[in-house]
Amino acid sequence: MAPSYVAEARRRVGPKRNRIVPIIERLQADHPDAGIALEYRSDLELLVSVMLSAQTTDVNVNRVTERLFQKYRRPEDYLAVPLAELEDDIRPTGFFRQKAKALRGTMKILVEDYGGRVPDRMEDLLRLPGVARKTANVVVAERGEAQGIVVDTHVRRLSQRLGLTRQDEPVKIERDLIRLVPRRYWNVFPHLLIWHGRRVCIARRPRCEACVLNDLCPASRVEVSTVASHAPA
Ligand code: SF4
């Protein structure tokens, strides 16, 4: 189990219901470029990129898919080559044997049950091998109307530090966030936390002194007397 950051949220900063929209608005101002870093041109490419992104960086996936998507344009293309060839083509993303197997299983179902198209609904996506809730949430959110909130390692850590949840399991954290975050922000909210997590609220050494949330955050390491500089005048 990944380390928990729940215990870091110790300071009194007011109810989370009052803090959530200011938190989102400040993050939007601070990270106007927050969005998915995976490069894709179709629903199929989106699905494949997200499946390949497990346990590796988006930059690495983009490097691999640049060539992969020239060769594999339709679900049938993933089924037409020997498994070893597909494994080789995705090898640099790591866990390539499991990923190749999952891709083949997924493409088979897409061809047989969905006319070669990527389905829209969460429950259909969750039927696909190698597609867990996080992957399905990313795909659905990128295609328009989010049906849940993506919880990855950054979303988990920041939600805990910001006192938005006291849970450790992603499914329970998502349940808390769904109750708290207004629906109009479900698409963008994970991207904001992911980018803030990469740039500012780093796992081992959060840069609280440079953080626009330091007066709204119960885990802030900045002295109370020096915060509140981000609140509107
Ligand atoms: S970096 Fe910001 S969000 Fe993270 S713990 Fe510090 S004040 Fe809180």
Nearest-atom number in ligand 1 for the CA of 222 is 7
pLDDT of residue 233: 39
pLDDT of residue 2: 84
Tens-digit pLDDT string for the chain (233 aa) = 789 999 999 999 999 999 999 999 999 999 999 989 999 999 999 999 999 999 899 999 999 999 999 999 999 999 999 999 999 999 999 999 999 999 999 999 999 999 999 999 999 999 999 999 989 999 999 988 888 999 999 999 999 999 999 999 999 999 999 999 999 999 999 999 999 999 999 999 999 999 999 999 999 999 765 555 554 43
Q: Please tell me the distance from the alpha carbon of residue 34 to that of residue 168, in angstroms, as a whole number.
A: 25
Within 6 A (CB) of ligand 1 lie: 161-162, 200-201, 206-208, 211, 213-214, 217, 219-220
pLDDT of residue 232: 47
Nearest to 196 by CA among 165, 163, 159: 159
Q: Please tell me the distance from the alpha carbon of residue 10 to that of residue 221, in angstroms, as a whole number.
A: 10
Q: Please tell me the distance from the alpha carbon of residue 133 to that of residue 123, in angstroms, as a whole number.
A: 9
Nearest-atom number in ligand 1 for the CA of 200 is 1
Q: What is the pTM of this model?
A: 0.81
Nearest-atom number in ligand 1 for the CA of 206 is 1
CB neighbourhood size of 189 (10 A): 26
Is the torsion defined by CA of 168, 5, 160, 138 positive or negative?
A: negative
Going from the Cα of 221 to the center of ligand 1, the distance in angstroms, rounded, reads 8
Q: Helices 43-52 and 58-71, interaxial angle, to 10°? A: 130
- CA 74 to chain CA centroid, Å, is 25
For residue 32, which phi and psi values (nearest 5 degrees)? Answer: -65, -20
CB 107 within 8 A of CB 74: no
Going from the Cα of 19 to the center of ligand 1, the distance in angstroms, rounded, reads 14
CB 218 within 8 A of CB 13: yes
Q: Please tell me the distance from the alpha carbon of residue 203 to that of residue 207, in angstroms, as a whole number.
A: 10
- CA 163 to chain CA centroid, Å, is 19
pLDDT of residue 224: 64
Going from the Cα of 217 to the center of ligand 1, the distance in angstroms, rounded, reads 6
Q: Please tell me the distance from the alpha carbon of residue 23 to that of residue 27, in angstroms, as a whole number.
A: 6
What 3-state DSSP class applies to 135?
A: helix
Structural domains of the chain sorted by starting position, each given as residue range(s) with its CATH number in brackets: 6-30+149-226 (1.10.1670.10), 43-142 (1.10.340.30)
pLDDT of residue 227: 53
Going from the Cα of 214 to the center of ligand 1, the distance in angstroms, rounded, reads 6
List C-alpha distances in Å: 180 to 5, 146, 175, 229. Answer: 19, 15, 9, 25
- Catalytic residue numbers, as ranges: 134, 152
Is the torsion defined by CA of 45, 46, 50, 56 positive or negative?
A: positive
pLDDT of residue 216: 97
